[in-house]
Structure 1
Amino acid sequence: MPCWFTLTCAVLSIFAFVCVLGSEVNVQRKNLLGLGSLQSVAVSGRLICLGRPAADVKVKLYESEVLLDSKLDEGRTDSNGVFRLSGSKREFTTIDPKLNVYHKCNYNGLCDKKFSIRILVDYVSSGSEAEKTFDIGTLNLANEYSGQTTDCIN
């Protein structure tokens, strides 16, 4: 191929990349300016370990993103293993919330075991307060959960 053709293709590729990158930055800037719709979600449940309340277990509520998830809320279970988290985020599309649970039930490793639970879209509300709460019920952390990993940085 002629040299000018290769150079033209390279310039067009760079131009297309800059345009895509610019539109992503513009979308983020619009969200900072308060555009998009404010959406909220809440999740609750009880965690046990081998039949006993799993107290002081770390739980985090996230909005799943393409590159880096956005934390909406975090907390720890109480002395009965109970928790409730809620949060809101402004997005153009419906938020995709998930709950991450970090624990050491029946496990002696250096890092925590971690698993995630997707929250159904039916539990996403418009506005700053969740209209209903996604209840995960009572979970025994001694069980193995799909997608469970270990996490040292949480």
Structure 2
Amino acid sequence: MTPDERRAIEADVTRLIHAYTWANDDADWHACAALYTKDALFRRPSGGDPVRGRDAILEGFLARPARAQRHTIANVLVDVVDENTARARSVIVLYMGNSVGDGGLPVQDAKSPLIGTFTDLVVRTDEGWRFAERIGSLDFRP
């Protein structure tokens, strides 16, 4: 693999992580789930049992109560394993709150922000780069 090919994979995986973040903040759960492989493993940073499979991941997203949220992803580090596999780590900061009835800015939740880490296994598929594993954890208690 050439250095240019490695950098291209790093950029593609970083873009996947950012696309997921924007879809999540837009509450576009179908777009979020589509970024996983059909048999992916996902665990939210807030914990709970891991969820296996794109359909189950989508079901979990659809079951979430509505909230105002904004994720910030930082310190993305991609390690290319081979031309079809990469591992990535990133820091996540989640600001959340409740929408207000008058259409104004949401009120920030007292538990916000939450700070955690995602550890990802990413694979190249016919659909493009997708999460095969996305394991979240919190770095500080709320």
More helix per residue: 1 or 2?
2
- TM-score computed with the length of structure 1 as normaliser: 0.31
- TM-score computed with the length of structure 2 as normaliser: 0.33
Bigger Cα Rg: 1
